[in-house]
Amino acid sequence: MITGLSHVSIVVPNLQTAARELEKKYGLKIGEIRVNEQQGVRMAYVDLGNAKIELMEPSRPDSPVAKFLERNPRGGIHHFSLQVNSIQASIVELEHQGARVIGDGMQKNVHGERIAFVHPRDFLGALVELEEHLK
């Protein structure tokens, strides 16, 4: 079911400011800034080779990321993403085990991959994104 870690998502108040700080302090460079209209976020990735850091800022005030920033004005870790081969099979398996899955797997990330989320109460208090990586 789970094949690896895809990325850790960090909400930031300002994507450009975060990018400058990561480059100045750590020599890390962000990739292309993209917008996911469905989720109401602007985002960019820092590619670390075996995983990524996803930086997200809200693109509209009603997005879940904007609500996260209301509670955490400086930003912070929002979720981490695990790779799966099949969203549908993973959802069925997790629900069979008693986990609550948020969404039906029809949402897509900026790369067009299907995603769903596992409720934090069912993963040690952490929000987990499942991200389908087709072979």
Q: What is the pLDDT of residue 64?
A: 92
- Please give the share of the chain, as a percent, with pLDDT higher than 90: 82
Active site residue 70: no
Domain containing 98 equals 2-132
Pick the range with the lowest mean pLDDT from 52-56, 66-70, 76-80, 110-114: 110-114
What's the alpha-carbon Rg for the chain, to the nearest Å?
Answer: 15
Amino acid at 6: S
Domain tally, the chain: 1
Query: Pick the catalytic residue: 57, 129, 131, 132?
Result: 129
CATH number at 90 reads 3.10.180.10
Mean pLDDT of 109-120: 92
Is the pLDDT score of 2 beyond 90?
Answer: no
Secondary structure (3-state) at 33: coil
What is the full DSSP assignment across 66-78? HHHHHH-TT-EEE
Average pLDDT over residues 91-103: 93
pLDDT of 122 above 80? yes
Report the candidate in 87, 117, 114, 88 with the shortest Cα–Cα distance to residue 100. 117
The whole-number average pLDDT for the span 25-35 is 96
Alpha helices in the chain (DSSP H): 15-26, 64-71, 87-96
Averaged pLDDT, 39-49: 94
Integer Cα distance of 43 and 131 in angstroms: 16
Query: pLDDT category, 131, cuts 50, 70, 90?
Result: very high
